[in-house]
Amino acid sequence: MSSTAATISIDCPSEVLLELHVSEEELATLLKETVAIELFRKGKLSSGLAARWAGQERMPFIMKAMEHGAALLDQGEADFRRETSLI
């Protein structure tokens, strides 16, 4: 399966980078991981897709997401089917 990627630009005051002591690339990585975790937590993305987007292996991503309040398989049978469809 071939995939393409979209690039999304956002405005960010330079003060945010200075306050966080991060580069633009580091902030982009942080934002991508944070959004991937949140979308997984809300059941909008499967753990596999969210992990791939965040550039991580699935199990470490799930563990990190659970540290941030995500619950694995908390939405019943539909959640189970979504999570096991790629196994």
Residue 57 lies in a domain: yes
Residue 15 lies in a domain: no
How far, in Å, CA of 67 to CA of 16, rounded?
A: 24
Confidence bin at 84 (pLDDT 50/70/90): low
- Give the tens place of pLDDT for each residue, 33-46: 999 999 998 889 98
**pLDDT of 2 above 70:** no
Mean pLDDT (the chain, rounded): 85
Residue 40 lies in a domain: yes
**Percent of the chain at pLDDT above 70?**
78
Residue 55 lies in a domain: yes
> For the chain, how many structural domains are there in total?
1
**pLDDT of 1 above 60:** no
Indicate the burial class of 15 (C-beta count within 10 angstroms; 0-12, 13-18, 19 or more).
Answer: exposed
